[in-house]
Structure 1
Amino acid sequence: MRISGLASNLDWEQLVDQLMQIERRPLLLLERRKLEIETEKNAWSDIRTRVSNLRDRIAAVLAADLFQRVEATSSDAARVTAQAGSAAVPGTYSVEVQQLATAHAIATYVEVDPSVARNVDGDLTLAVTTVDGHTMASFHVMIDPADSLYAIRDKINAAVDAAVAADPNLKPYAVRAEIIGGHLVISRTETGASTIEVSGSAAGALQLLNQNGAERIVTEGKDAAFKVNGVGFTRSSNTVSDVIQGVTLELHQAGPGQTVTITVGWDDDAVVDAVKKFVEQYNSTLSFMNQQQDYQAAGGGKLGGDVLLTMLRGELRRLVADPVEALSGSDLDRLAAVGITTQDKSGTLQLDEAKLREALAADRAAVQRLLAGDPDAAGSSDDGVFVRLRKAVDRWLETNTGLLDRRIDALDDRVRDYAEQMERMEYRLQLREQNLMRQFEALESLIATLQSQEQWLIQQINQLTSLRPRK
């Protein structure tokens, strides 16, 4: 611990602190400049992220299948729904569901405690047969006297799983056993007009067969029966994908004599959604750029007067506003023709969805060419608006060599340079402070020595004075 001024009566530690504050002024200037550059770098990093997100939105509009996507709608989704795939073509279809497909199921006749041993010894065979009597799969189980209904259920399911694992072709004909209210219920895992036939010495004892050898059928296996545009079909499943090209029908409820209209049309929602998301990201990007160049905006002005940012902002606005050269003279040669217009002097865009939908309905191919260009053309004059946007954005975002990366890297180098300068200056200031401390400590020591000598001299003079003879 060091206490200043004991000998000199001077608070030289405070004096050193004040001197060092003056010496640190250049360091504070460096810190302030470093912070400014870091702020500038962060602003450019944010711009790069926004432009990268903009490129993703551009890519969504340029997706190869965007304008070829179709959607299917149903006039009664409670009865029939539809899903359109890439092979679907626009059209309208009338569907009448006469009968739903069901899975065959049988159950034991007698309700018992499923946890008590059934005292049945024998074999059980479950065969899945078609309506014409062909056996498609057979599953065999050995029943022991100690087996409860729960144990028998588990044995049946294990035997089915093992058979399917050995031969995956048996999967469509698998069965599943369950315990429901003290009954053993065995059901087909898939729908269709196939039946489960039980046999074996344990079938009767388990009450799966009555005295007449008949099963207790709780659900009859049936095929789905339906009509499409008046033509009748039957299928083993309620999911039908081979009647209407590229469309999968889901049959939910039978209604003989009641038709459901399935409409397959172009998916305009997909196009509108892609364009809408682009406009939102474009506006976010451009608004942020405007803010960074506006000294009066809250949190803005960090890149005021930056020529590179002015170039980037200007290029984006120009590419969005300019007409497509190859479409010059046509009604659809610029984005404004399909409802994408500039709002004000800020350059942000607004989308008129109704106008875009009208353009898609009137000439879908022309809208596609305006936005995505002519894929078969060799010249850049046939580039659509979003193609030329993508090319420009790709140049700006090119890794390491793109203008954005180069600017960020240059700012990062400057930040590191300032950090190194500050580190060297901090080291020099520490040495300066230590040197001042040593000098004042030496001064304090010297003053203390002089004061000690002064006291000794005073004592000597006093002693000499006392030795003088008195008159």
Structure 2
Amino acid sequence: MRISGFASGFDIDAMVKQLMTAHRAPLEKLQQKTTRIEWQQEAYRSISTTFVDFRNNKLSTFGQSSSIDAKKADITGNASAVSATVTGASTNSSLSVEVTKLAKAASVQFNTGIAGDNASKTLGELDGWSTSSGTVTVNGVPIQFNKSTDTIQSLVKKINDNKEAKVTALYDSTSGKVSITANATGEGDVVLGGDFSAAANLITGVDPKAGENATAIVNGLQMSSQTNQITVNGTTIQLKQLSGTGGASTITVGTNTDKILDTIKNFVSEYNKVLEQVNTKLGEERYRKFDPLTEEQKEAMSDKQVELWEEKARSGLLRNDSILSQTVSNLRMAATSGFGDPADKFNIQTIGITTGKWFEGGKLVIENEQALRDAIEADPEKIMSLFTAKSAEEPAAGYSKVNNPNTGVFTRMSDILMDSLKQLSDRAGTSQTSTSSTGSFLENSLLGTQKRDLNSRMADLNRRLTMLETQYYKQFTAMETAINRYNSQAGSLGSFMNG
């Protein structure tokens, strides 16, 4: 039990606290080192999430054929008869299309109506249903009914609820007629069977209509389709109406220069954002006099003072970082290195993209947009390869994945960032795949190991400090006890002398 200084008049707690202050200094140093490591991990994570996003989202999107090899379809002539949608497989072509027949779905209509009072009657109350229950089949699919409870409307609903029949039944309450239509267009019939044959009121005057395929003449070749859609040279053509007297439609599929140009512009913008973030961290000022604050120091400061202090203390934690410096260097080389035959000296500078001024840290600049547009229109395949080409072969002697002439800019950068993410994960425990700004860190990284060691040292030091603090209190308790004993003896002696 701890005893305050009742006998001595001393503030024992204050004295012990003062004595412990010097002993706690090493612990505070360890706590500051731990905090600095945590801040470093957070700083690395902000970079790694940017790398993951740029690699897995931005570069991946820019490299899709719909972005870097975009096509467009223009329709002239009979523009109302067809529409066209380009795909990643579309090739440049001119297609003359004449729609000669539209696809139709097979159907069956029962011309005898069940309207008026009959509409609400059960099937058992209608003439022709001789069984108490039974089964009708639609396209070979059995559908159960009960003559005592089912009406014509409930039978229609059962047919529609059965997805395997692949039809849509319709009951017109005004005319009382029923129709059954196939869900898909194209050649074929709606085949009815089972107890439909027992229903005289339903089957009288059946009007079946077979389904039909669509037909169109494309560049002189007749084509057929079960739907009103055909695909030619990778382009999807929707047949909307018969060409008739309007004549043929001409679909011209060509390079979508504007979209490809926008893709390259967006790449330049996103790439520059990555460089700016990394270069800012590499050049950030390091304020070595600003250590992480202890809890006592924070308590003595205002929130604003703490914020400003920690802003300085966090600054420069990644200054001149070796991984980030190498990443920037590699990205810049990947962007500007040649593609294809080295003798051709073909790279992004050839098409009007430069690295800007020296103080811009390697940012890309589209200096000549017209030259870029002309290059896209002249040879879109070459431009696509410049950015997206891949190679399964190892780089030739004198080259690496950073400047491999057989791979495109996006491919090189993707490989570089994957290597950097691996290095950041090994050093700081950051994720190689996540863009979460609050994700946890791997414990077995370099910084994670250092942090674990510091935590172990702090735990050991805390135990020793607790023992030391307890020892101080024991000593002061002994002193208080001795003073109490002395005071008691002195009091007794005084009483005896005065007795």
1:184 aligned onto 2:208: no
1:396 corresponds to which residue? 420
SS of the equivalent of 2:97 reads strand
Whether the 8 Å contact between 1:100 and 1:254 is mirrored in structure 2 is yes
Change (3 A) 1:74 1:375: farther
Counterpart in 2 of 1:294?
Answer: 283
Q: 1:437 to 1:269 in 2, by over 3 A?
A: farther
Q: How does 1:385-424 map to 2 (within 5 A)?
A: 385-386=408-409, 387-398=411-422, 402=423, 405-406=426-427, 409-424=445-460
Say yes or no: does 1:152 pair with 2:141. Answer: no
SS of the counterpart of 2:94? strand
Retained in 2: the 8 A contact 1:194–1:221?
yes
Match of 1:342 among 355, 360, 381: 355
Distance in 2 separating the partners of 1:413 and 1:139: 66
Residues 93 and 284 of structure 1: CA distance in aligned 2, closer, same or farther (over 3 Å): same
Q: 1:301 to 1:354 in 2, by over 3 A?
A: farther
1:226 deviates by: 3.9
CA contact (8 A) 1:16 1:437 kept: yes
Does the alignment pair 1:248 with 2:262?
no
Flag the 1:86–1:432 CA change in 2: closer, same or farther, 3 A.
same
Gaps of 5+ in 1: 129-136, 165-173, 464-471
Mark the CA change 1:7 to 1:152 in structure 2 (over 3 Å): closer, same or farther: same
Task: State how 1:328-407 maps to structure 2 within 5 Å.
Answer: 328-330=343-345, 333-344=346-357, 345-351=360-366, 355-372=371-388, 375=391, 379=396, 380=399, 382-386=405-409, 387-398=411-422, 402=423, 405-406=426-427
The offset of 1:447, in angstroms, is 0.9
Matched residue, 2:121: 116
Shift of 1:94: 3.1
Give the AA of the match of 1:111.
Answer: A
Q: Structure 1 residue 149: deviation in Å?
A: 0.5
- 1:9 equivalent in structure 2: 9
For 2:218, which of 204, 228, 249 is the aligned residue?
Answer: 228
C-alpha distance in 2 between matches for 1:192 and 1:309: 61
Q: 1:103 aligns with which of 102, 105, 111?
A: 105
Give the counterpart of 2:475 among 439, 446, 458.
439
Provide the rounded CA distance (Å) in 2 between the counterparts of 1:373 and 1:360: 16
What amino acid does structure 2 have at the position aligned with 1:250? Answer: Q
Q: State which structure, 1 or 2, has the greater radius of gyration over its C-alpha atoms.
A: 1
CA contact (8 A) 1:122 1:144 kept: no
Matches within 5 A, 1:45-124: 45-56=45-56, 57-58=58-59, 70=71, 72=73, 74=75, 79-84=81-86, 88-97=90-99, 99-105=101-107, 106-108=109-111, 109-112=113-116, 114-118=119-123, 119-120=125-126, 121-122=129-130
* Cα shift at 1:139: 7.0
Q: CA deviation at 1:450?
A: 0.8
1:26 aligns with 2:26: yes
Q: Which letter does structure 2 place at the counterpart of 1:359?
A: A
2 CA distance for matches of 1:313 and 1:397? Answer: 13
Q: How many angstroms apart in 1 are the aligned matches of 2:91 and 2:159?
A: 46
Counterpart of 2:233 in structure 1: which amino acid? Q
Q: Say which SS state the counterpart of residue 238 (structure 2) adopts.
A: strand
- 1:143: Cα distance to partner? 7.2
> Percent identity over the alignment?
27
Alignment of 1:165-244 (within 5 A): 175-181=167-173, 183-192=177-186, 201-206=197-202, 208-209=203-204, 213=205, 215=207, 222-229=212-219, 235-241=225-231, 244=232
Q: CA deviation at 1:448?
A: 1.0
* RMSD of aligned alpha carbons: 4.1
Q: Matches of 1:176 and 1:397 in 2, distance apart?
A: 55
CA contact (8 A) 1:80 1:260 kept: yes
Task: For 1:325 and 1:29, locate their aligned partners in 2 and report how far apart those are by CA, in whole Å.
Answer: 56
**How far off is 1:451 after superposition?**
0.7
CA contact (8 A) 1:16 1:433 kept: yes
CA, structure 1 residues 404+225, in 2 after alignment: closer, same or farther (shift >3 Å)?
closer
Give the distance between the partners of 2:187 and 2:49, measured in 1 at CA.
58
CA distance in 2, matches of 1:314, 1:229: 53
If the length of structure 2 is used for normalisation, what is the TM-score?
Answer: 0.71
SS in 1 for 2:496: helix
CA distance in 1 between counterparts of 2:157 and 2:428 reads: 69
Cα distance change on mapping 1:376 and 1:195 into 2, 3 Å = closer
One-letter amino acid matched to 2:94:
T
Deviations 1:184-227 (A, max 9, x none): 32112222465558786545413x53xxx453x8x885543544
